[in-house]
């Protein structure tokens, strides 16, 4: 069951580029990454594309397919109609290096800004005891394969380069949430720094990130919204404000 497929590929680099049309064979059961590889092996030896596992586990082959952020290895050719042209373009939120490869170093810089896990000092290796139900909340976020599709689709940075400085993006909100919900993490105020230093407040919960997540992590519902709610609680909690007043009085 081989058929001819019309593929439109963005080719170029940071200076210039455009869409190029190719016709390529597609076999039954193939995914978009397969046909890109066929183009590479037979027609465009220097076509740049990132990939690794080809099984949806490493998050390398992120690109935009017909305008939607997707993993090329998990996108079946058969999910498009036979006469449809499939257009593949690089992730729009990040600078192009060449063809389908973009500079995603923004994400690694942000990763370095999130304070690391802090293990309780009194707990020696092997002594930790945690309930399964308690680790599962963080485990959902640790499923993240760092494909950065959520970052790509997030409108806070997708077309607003100027926001990148003060906004970590959905991938790192789930990282903060994961640490915040970690049963043993000792570092305080993760939610507050999410708001004050990593731009949590700029997210207006349109759930675009949840929609594109190939791991089906409920980024908005399970990480961002609970953190936003708690930040509000902390900032406007009457009990806390009252306690704060008392403290101040005592000090005075």
Please identify, using beta-carbon distances, which residue of 48 and 202 lies nearer to other proteins. 48
Min CB(233)–other proteins separation in Å: 25
Min CB(7)–other proteins separation in Å: 15
User: Is there binding between residue 28 and other proteins (CB under 8 A)?
Assistant: yes
* Beta strands 3-12; 86-89: pairing state: parallel
| Residue tagged 């394969």 (tokens) | 145
Give the footprint of other proteins on residues 36-75 (CB under 8 A): 40-42, 45-60, 74
* Beta-bridge partner residues of 17: 12
Give the footprint of other proteins on residues 109-148 (CB under 8 A): 111-112, 115-117, 119, 123, 125-126, 128-132, 135, 138-139, 142-143, 145-146
- Please identify which residue in 92, 98, 207, 218 interacts with other proteins, judged by CB under 8 A: 98
Min CB(68)–other proteins separation in Å: 15
Query: Helices 225-236 and 238-251, interaxial angle, to 10°?
Result: 40
| Residue tagged 């707990």 (tokens) | 123
| Residue tagged 């902390």 (tokens) | 234
The answer to whether the CB of 65 falls within 8 A of the CB of 88 is yes
DSSP per-residue string spanning 9-47: EEEEBSS-EEEEEEEEEE-TT-BHHHHHHHHHHHT-TT-
Which residue ranges make up the site for other proteins (CB under 8 A)?
13, 27-31, 34, 40-42, 45-60, 74, 76, 97-99, 101, 104, 108, 111-112, 115-117, 119, 123, 125-126, 128-132, 135, 138-139, 142-143, 145-146, 179, 182, 185
């Amino acid at each position: 069951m081989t058929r001819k497929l019309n593929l439109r590929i963005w080719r170029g680099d940071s200076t210039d580029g455009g869409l190029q049309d190719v016709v390529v064979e597609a076999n039954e059961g193939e995914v978009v990454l397969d046909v890109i590889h066929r183009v590479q092996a037979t027609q465009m030896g220097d076509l740049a594309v990132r990939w690794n596992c080809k099984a949806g586990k490493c998050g390398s082959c992120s690109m935009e397919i017909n305008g939607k952020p997707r993993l090329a290895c998990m996108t079946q050719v058969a999910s498009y109609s036979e006469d449809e042209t499939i257009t593949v373009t690089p992730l729009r939120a990040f600078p192009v290096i060449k063809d389908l490869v973009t500079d995603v170093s923004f994400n690694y810089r942000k990763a370095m800004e999130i304070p690391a896990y802090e293990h309780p000092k009194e707990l020696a290796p092997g002594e930790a005891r945690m309930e399964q139900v308690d680790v599962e909340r963080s485990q959902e976020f640790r499923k993240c394969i760092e494909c950065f599709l959520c970052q790509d689709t997030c409108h806070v940075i997708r077309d607003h380069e100027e926001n990148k400085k003060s906004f970590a993006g959905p991938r790192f909100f789930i990282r903060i949430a994961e640490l915040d919900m970690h049963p043993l993490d000792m570092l305080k105020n993760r939610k507050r720094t999410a708001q004050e230093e990593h731009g949590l407040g700029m997210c207006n919960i349109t759930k675009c990130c949840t929609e594109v997540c190939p791991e089906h992590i409920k980024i908005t519902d399970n990480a961002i919204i609970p953190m936003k709610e708690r930040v509000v609680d902390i900032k406007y909690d009457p009990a806390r404000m009252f306690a704060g007043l008392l403290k101040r009085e005592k000090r005075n």
